[in-house]
Amino acid sequence: MNPATREYIRQNFAAYYSHDRVSVPPSLLQREWGFISFDETSKIPMRRHMAFQSREELASYVRVTVPRHMFFSTAYYEFPSAPTMNDKIWAGADLIFDLDADHIVQGVSYDTMLSRVKDETLKLIDMLSDELGFSKRSMSLVFSGGRGYHIHVRDLEIRGWGSSERRELVDYVCGIGIDPAFMLSGHEGGGGGWPARYRESLSLELQCIRDMGAKDGVKYLSSLKGVGEGSARQFYEEIDSVIASVDDLSSPVLLMKNNALRAIIGGEYEPLKQRILSKAALTDEPVTTDIKRLIRAPGSLHGGSGFRVTALDSVADLESFDPLVDAVVADFGDNEVSVECLFSLTMPMMGQVYTIEKGINRVPIPMAIFLCCRGIGEIGAPDS
């Protein structure tokens, strides 16, 4: 990003922050704050260990400094501005889930990426509420302004959980450490959750092998580690009955009956692992287990997109939420400016689809800021 582009973005951020835009989290006095500036020459990448006594004090600081990125602690501290973590005296932390495209999908367009992350967020919300008993009213949902969503859970009962308790929770939603023996042991009256997801995944994989036909199916099974042709042939002959028992949630599946089945449910069999992974909620594990994390502040601007970090009124609003409309800062104005782009792309924003060509483009200011923040374009090119 050249100096002219950086200054253009900073000025637009300054205009945005000239109004009191940033939301304060509950228990403001116990939160640490951190800021990344527009000064790329600074030897301090983030200024942190800061605390504010009021919303007005925070707003004044932001108006004066105009940060490029802005964060507050998920933790509560007795002394949040203390210069070391030990001196802060930890007093609990919100439970945070971070769904980011880096962990979910790559190599797709920005709008497709956001759609895919929304699907994962909806999946996680259902797991938390339907299977783990969290009330949706206790969840605060925030669009990160960049590539995903944050779920804040502020139940007092879980505020004191350490990393180990949070690790158990994130292992569950991510499907980590699944025990095939338990998943296939059978549950009276049927069931849902991971036993149902695991059995559905296994059934689909077995159906795929069956549909190869006898010759190719036996050849494929015998190529698996530890599976001879005899075991492969025997298993293929019985595969329909195995599928039937897998589909019956109340019926146990005989795990050790055949080497082929043991190879498929073993941890090294990639096709089944991928099917299971597709049913997990792909949250960023370190964020949930970190009890001293900094998270983006709702109402602030994301320096990598120019979008607003947007808190939704309720999790029920996620279905209709469109970040390419609802998180775009309309106050930037609809005047067009020239941006020189490194490559061409098609990008929906503000209810329209923009075709961006390599070279000089005239686009509305919010689109120009997005392109520049993403490193796609530079401000200051001559008008076309």
Q: 151: which 2 tokens?
A: 């779920």
Q: Which are the contacts of 65, defined by CB distance < 8 A and separation ≥ 6?
A: 35, 37
Contact between 365 and 373 under an 8 Å Cβ cutoff? The reply is no
CB count in 10 Å sphere of residue 340: 19
**Alpha-carbon dihedral angle through residues 266, 271, 274, 276, given to the nearest 10 degrees:** -50
Alpha carbons 259 and 248: distance in angstroms, whole number: 22
Pick the catalytic residue from 98, 126, 179, 216. 98
Pick the catalytic residue from 126, 130, 155, 284. 284
- Please name every residue paired with 151 in a beta bridge, in sequence order, or none if there are none: 97, 141
Alpha carbons 204 and 304: distance in angstroms, whole number: 40
DSSP, res 102: G
Alpha carbons 109 and 284: distance in angstroms, whole number: 21
Burial of residue 361 (number of CB atoms within 10 Å: 0-12, 13-18, 19+): buried
Pick the catalytic residue from 39, 100, 130, 155. 100
Active site residue 111: no
For 226-290, give the DSSP string.
T--HHHHHHHHHTHHHHHHHHH-TTS---TTS-HHHHHHHSTT-HHHHHHHHTTS----HHHHH-
Q: Which residue has the tokens 């930037």?
A: 332
Alpha carbons 279 and 221: distance in angstroms, whole number: 24
Active site residue 20: no
Active site residue 331: no
Please provide the distance, in angstroms rounded to a whole number, between the alpha carbons at the two ends of the chain.
21
CB count in 10 Å sphere of residue 148: 26
Report the run of H or E that residue 116 belongs to, with start and end: helix 110-126
Q: 187: which 2 tokens?
A: 């549950």
Tell me which residues are annotated as active site.
98, 100, 284
